[in-house]
Amino acid sequence: MNRSLKIGMFGFGCVGQGLYDILENNEGFRAELVKICVKDRTKPRKLPSRYFTFDKEDILENPEINLVVELINDADEAYHIVTTALKKGKIVVTANKKMLAEHLAELVALQEQYDTALLYEASACGSIPIIRNLEEYYDNELLFAVSGIMNGSSNYILSKIFNENLSYHTALKQAQDLGFAETDPTLDVGGFDALNKLCILAVHAYGTLIRPEDAFNYGIQSLSVHDIQFAKEKGYKIKLLASVRKTQENAITAFVIPQFIKKEDYLYNVENEYNGVTVEAAFADRQFFMGKGAGGHPTGSAVLSDISASRYQYKYEYKKLAQHHNIRYTTEHQLEVYLRYHDEEDLELLRFTEISEKYSGKNFNYVIGIVSLKHLTHIKAELASRNIFIAATGQKLNQPQELVYNHATAAKELVP
């Protein structure tokens, strides 16, 4: 059944304006934008004033509006808007990954309780339809890992550094001027944005709810010319990667960390504001998705996809969450990392269990070795305060024998 949609939208920034442009230029799509709630009363806008309101109740209490699109930056206010709308039986489409990562269990329960739908394709990886694919295409797959570049702002900065030899601060300023990075870029360059997206993807990939505070994230804000020179001499690029992967039977782990990428890796050529996601699975093997992860029109297209799907009563089934496979989250995992450090105290902080390479110079010291992800999670605040840089080497450790599947072995596991 193709239902008639009357939309109330919160926020008219980059994504909101992008969505409006798409709606206006999409022939054959029947949906009426009834009202837009905004905060700034003085900001000039390209639409007539009758479209706008400064009172959220004009949307939430309007029985005519049956779909709410939430596109604001404030995660706490977004939570109030989304929960109120769901309780009133309205369909909700949101792009707020922080709000979702922190409250997803409650939101899943609310949409079931009030028999409505919460859709959020635009919350992870911009224009890449990764949530829908994990939810539907991979619904019965044995997934080994979902990993990749999930923040367009940090990838834009790193691309400019490696491809155009810009300094970190110059590249960051460009990203801010283009609207890819906020005035305070901490969420992007600190790996928090990618971590929130990863927590959302973990639910659809493995049916496991992960709290952001329980996972390790480390960003690129401590990157120096020494790290860039090291990577270039080895023929690598540095990308900020997010990864959720199976580590052993009925256990997964998740982390966000800069990583050295080799030329033969798909992600090596994912540049600027683009995102790239690799899905590793037993039957489908390795598949790669790439698309713009930032910008009004790319993200707006993902919002439009959810709006379009809602016309036909589409909702996430959360099959893996409902199957109760009891896949637990763990930080009992080993990583091989590169550490650029200042003094021996920095080196001692990481508690390397094994060191394979070490260099000490007048202005530059580094070590490559194996560390515990659990320990990294405990010390991440102190790592950031010391302004030292770490990056994964890309070597896969803790790969239990049961995860080294061939297709025949995987097929046997699915036979009752």
**Where does 147-224 have alpha helices with state H?**
152-164, 168-177, 186-189, 192-206
233 with 189: CB under 8 angstroms?
no
Residue whose token pair is 């994504």? 15
333 with 216: CB under 8 angstroms?
no
6 with 307: CB under 8 angstroms?
no
389 with 224: CB under 8 angstroms?
yes
Paired tokens of 20: 């409006």
With a CB cutoff of 8 Å and minimum separation 6, the contacts of 32 are 4, 5, 6, 7
Give the H/E segment covering residue 227.
helix 225-233
247 with 332: CB under 8 angstroms?
yes
Query: How far from each other are the two terminal CA atoms of the chain, in whole angstroms?
Result: 36
CA distance 4 to 223: 50
- 197 is known as an active-site residue: yes
222 with 384: CB under 8 angstroms?
yes
CA distance to 121, 320, 345, per residue, from 323 (Å): 22, 5, 47
Catalytic residue among 35, 56, 90, 197: 197
For residue 287, the one-letter residue type is Q
Give the H/E segment covering residue 240.
strand 237-248
Paired tokens of 107: 């939101």
Active-site residue list:
197
